[in-house]
Chain A
Amino acid sequence: MIKNKQNLIAIFLVILFGISLFYVGTDGFKAYTAETARTNKLMEEKPKLPLVTLEDSNKRSYSFSEFEGKYVLMTFIYTSCTDVCLQLEVNAAEVYNSIPQKYIGENIVFLSISFDPATDTPDQLDKYRSYFKSDGETWRMARIPNQKELDTVLEELGVIVIPDGNGNFTHNSAFYLAGPDGKLLEVMDYKKTEEAAKKVTDILDNEVEG
């Protein structure tokens, strides 16, 4: 009988251990993939965009302070990408077109940042830009030429980029929205364009009216 009692206690302890393991491992049953965990954490921390130099498709160089006072919707891409980036940019275009015209350029700027500065020269970005009917002004495409600075941005925003050595990259994708103060506000699912457009429009409505 005593043996059975210990057996029962062991079952109880194992179940307790299992629940705590899964609780800790999924941030309280909220994040089953590292990507969800990452975005949850980013939205909590709201990091400030680091000081780096961007070079856009019009060969202009500036830092994120260029967009001070405006919201910035960012995506991270590389132009030789054949799958996710295309979808990401098509979806970004969808959001761009769903936001009321009056805000575009005035209150919000779209920015696609390449994490492959070696291939994505301004000329290459200019070509890529035209595929998505980006005007290069209210929707800019830029690279961060300095690898160190690029790494800082990727690290700060939790963008994981793994080169496979053949010019392709494994990477995660999302819409990143930074506020007028240059701090990250939202990380949105790039597949839910309507939801993202609505969220951004609501934020802009509040900003302009409030």
Chain B
Amino acid sequence: MKQAIYGLVLYVFLMLPPVASLAESIMTVHMHMQMPLFVIAGMLMAPYLKQRFPGFFSKWNHNGVPGILLFFIIMVYWMLPRAMDEALAYQSVEIFKFISLPFLAGVPLRDSWNKLGSIGQNVILVSFSIISGLMAWLYIFSPTQLCNNYLKVEQITLGWAFLFLGLSIIIYFVQQFFVDQSQYE
């Protein structure tokens, strides 16, 4: 319950117009801070929602695959250069961002993660790092300015941030094979 409140506070804080416009003024912060924080807000609210609607999650997201697919679709959608531009240009897309990231990505991610089992989790980690790598390549080497609202130099910065993200996921993925998790539990 406490978690859900923290999640809600974070969610509302992120949506405050000055906070949102500050976060969106820098491309990397927009993509790598604001968006993930929305997902985290959703993740924090997930247990409460599961408590409220236990049947819904166990029936419709029985093995975690529908949830993780939904998470993936939403994440990839928000990696499109156009989606970022349109969130700035149209109120409706901005609202969709505020709803989709916590509730269609954060909540299903937390619900699905443990249901997936370690193989499923590893598939997700590897595919997410591959996508990050592709995005890094796209944003660093694109000869054109992909977003009308951001300078090319910001775009390149974003690309490097993607590379960093991809590498971090890979490091996490690899360490599982060398570190015995049970020692720390």
Contact = CB atoms under 8 A, between A and B. Distances in A.
Interface of A: 3-4, 6-7, 9-11, 13-15, 17-18, 21-22, 25-26, 31-38, 83-84, 160, 162, 164, 170, 172, 191
A11 B58 CA distance: 14
Q: Taking chain B's interface residues, is the majority helix, strand, or loop, or is none over half, making it mixed?
A: helix
B73 interface: yes
Interface string B87-110: 001000000000000000000000
Nearest to A18: B73
A33 B73 contact: no
Q: Taking chain A's interface residues, is the majority helix, strand, or loop, or is none over half, making it mixed?
A: helix
Interface in B9-35: none
A18 B100 CA distance: 12
Contact of B61 (A10, A37, A83, A191): A10
B147 interface: yes
Contacts, number: 85
Contact of B60 (A7, A22, A191): A7
Nearest to A189: B144
Given A4-B62, A35-B148, A26 B80 contact: yes
B66 interface: yes
B10 to A, nearest CB: 25
Interface of B: 58-63, 65-66, 69-70, 73, 77, 80-83, 85-86, 89, 143-152
Contacts of B86: 25, 34
A3 to B, nearest CB: 5
In the A-B complex, the 10 residue pairs with the smallest Cβ-Cβ separation, listed nearest first, are A34-B85, A10-B66, A18-B73, A7-B62, A10-B60, A160-B148, A6-B59, A14-B70, A33-B81, A14-B69
8 contacts: A11-B69, A18-B69, A32-B80, A33-B146, A34-B85, A35-B146, A84-B145, A170-B148
Given A4-B62, A7-B61, A170 B150 contact: yes
A11 B147 contact: no
